[in-house]
């Protein structure tokens, strides 16, 4: 596993910071959170996998008085985007004295001349209260743009350091941008700040927006519980975000423990048969007279999946929430049992709310550390949290896969214990 972070060159300029704990390239954080220390691994003759620690360096690469930076937000909305933007701007401006900061509008489209998007000058005044707002003041977009045109724009604007706030697709683009910059022998740094409400980025303990999403989703599951108990044979069905990973559904279900069934992409399930979901749901309704179901959007795609890809290059998903709503109603009609089903899809509401205090503080640390390491000339990486430390992870390593809920993990075992749900598969399948 190659965790080496690229560098634009030697840092020769003294940092303006004072009274801080400096971090050097020798400061690294173990990938294996169970290992004692890097030193102990070397004593045993092992070469441990470790990440470069983020934080302020005593020397910086850029002439801060002449540096121009840019910030772009890409992909779908997520709580905390404005908080990260604000943190980057305030750290650049107040901590390092960098006053020339541009906000690129509408994602990577903002670099492409044919779209005609203007840039936004960013300073402490323009970002003073944006942390109280959901969404992003820079707006966003999905879809691929020509890498050469993006680098052309960076060179035309004389950008020395670009901050990309995005997810898996944005970081793949970031890696290609860095390749093009290297081919041109340009000296432009590219730093990523990981944004995914699903918490599915590899080598990341948590992503910003996830805590806010879980909090909102928990409230909505509580509403579904009220609805399910408010009518005879009531069913509350909630669809939550989670294309490939069920972290939001699993975590929100554990908050108040109202959910009776949690369906996630990682855990396949049968609909029909004596062990299938519909039979188990029917048994609960006949016995308990109510049920709450939480489903992640990427679950059960073998029943409702569609062909093709979306504008971001992700495989298109069928609507599992609508499928379950209709199939449950149909099942109970054939059984001659009337149910009162309430279907709730809060996805766009959740992703658009302002960040909670916990997420806001986390966003602040991410922005600060992105600036610290970026100004030291490091490039082609993201800043993230690992083993309770902020670290640098190369783009090409981040984009090798997605983090998913382990079916033998403490998280999923707790969900199964809290709900009491079976596997929804016949015993012969094990």
Q: Which residues carry out catalysis?
A: 198
What are the residues whose beta carbons fall under 8 Å from the beta carbon of 361, sequence distance 6 or more?
Answer: none
Cα–Cα distances in angstroms (integers) from residue 279 to residues 38, 152, 262, 421, in the given order = 52, 59, 15, 12
**CA gap 71, 159 in Å, rounded:** 10
DSSP label of 95: I
What are the residues whose beta carbons fall under 8 Å from the beta carbon of 227, sequence distance 6 or more?
Answer: 234, 236, 342
Q: Please calculate the CA angle 163-166-168 and round it to the nearest 5 degrees.
A: 125
Beta bridge mates, 119: 104
DSSP label of 424: S
**CA gap 76, 156 in Å, rounded:** 27
Pairing of strands 340-344, 234-240: parallel
Q: Are 194 and 385 in contact (CB under 8 A)?
A: no
**CA gap 322, 345 in Å, rounded:** 9
**CA gap 298, 191 in Å, rounded:** 29
Residue 108's Cβ-count burial label (10 Å; 0-12, 13-18, 19+) is buried
Nearest CA to 103 among 142, 139, 79?
Answer: 139
Residue 320 sits at φ, ψ, to 5 deg, of -65, -30
E strands along 74-209, which residues?
Answer: 100-104, 119-121, 161-166, 189-194
Cα–Cα distances in angstroms (integers) from residue 320 to residues 83, 224, 269, 294, 306, in the given order = 32, 17, 13, 11, 11
Nearest CA to 26 among 39, 14, 41, 45?
Answer: 39
């Amino acid at each position: 596993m190659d965790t080496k972070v690229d560098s634009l060159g030697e840092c020769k300029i003294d940092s303006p910071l004072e009274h801080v704990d400096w971090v050097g390239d020798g400061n690294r954080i173990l990938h294996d959170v169970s290992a004692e220390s890097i030193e102990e691994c070397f004593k045993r003759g092992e070469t441990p996998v470790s990440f470069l620690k983020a934080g302020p360096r005593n020397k910086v690469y850029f002439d801060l008085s002449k540096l121009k930076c840019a910030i772009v937000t890409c992909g779908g909305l997520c709580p905390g985007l404005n908080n990260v933007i604000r943190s980057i701007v305030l750290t650049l401006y107040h901590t390092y004295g960098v006053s020339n900061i541009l906000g690129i509008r509408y994602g990577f489209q903002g670099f492409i001349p044919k779209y005609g998007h203007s840039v936004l000058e960013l300073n402490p005044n323009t970002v003073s209260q944006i942390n109280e707002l959901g969404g992003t003041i820079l707006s966003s977009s999905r879809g691929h743009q020509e890498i050469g045109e993006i680098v052309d724009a960076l060179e035309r604007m004389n950008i020395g350091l670009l901050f990309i706030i995005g997810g898996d697709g944005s970081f793949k683009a970031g890696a290609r941008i860095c390749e093009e910059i290297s081919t041109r022998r340009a000296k432009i740094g590219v730093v990523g700040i990981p944004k995914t409400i699903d918490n599915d980025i590899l080598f990341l303990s948590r992503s910003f927006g996830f805590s806010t999403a879980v909090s909102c989703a928990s409230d909505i599951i509580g509403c579904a519980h009220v609805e399910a108990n408010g009518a005879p044979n009531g069913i509350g069905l909630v669809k939550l975000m989670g294309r490939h990973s069920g972290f939001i559904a699993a975590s929100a279900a554990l908050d108040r423990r109202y959910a009776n069934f949690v369906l996630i992409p990682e855990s396949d399930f049968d609909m029909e048969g004596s062990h299938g979901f519909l039979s188990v749901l029917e048994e609960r309704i006949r016995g308990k007279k109510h049920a709450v179901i939480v489903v992640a959007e990427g679950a059960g795609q073998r029943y409702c999946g569609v062909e093709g890809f979306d504008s971001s290059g992700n495989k298109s998903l069928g609507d599992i929430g609508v499928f379950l709503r209709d199939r449950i109603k149909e099942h109970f009609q054939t059984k001659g049992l009337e149910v009162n089903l309430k279907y709730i899809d809060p996805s766009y509401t959740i992703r658009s709310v302002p960040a909670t205090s916990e997420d806001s503080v986390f966003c602040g640390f991410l922005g600060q550390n992105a600036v610290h390491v970026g100004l030291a000339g490091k490039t082609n990486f993201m800043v993230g949290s690992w083993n309770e430390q902020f670290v640098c992870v190369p783009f090409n390593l981040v984009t090798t896969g997605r983090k998913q809920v382990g079916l033998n993990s403490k998280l999923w075992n707790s969900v199964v214990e809290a709900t009491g749900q079976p596997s929804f598969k016949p015993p012969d399948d094990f």
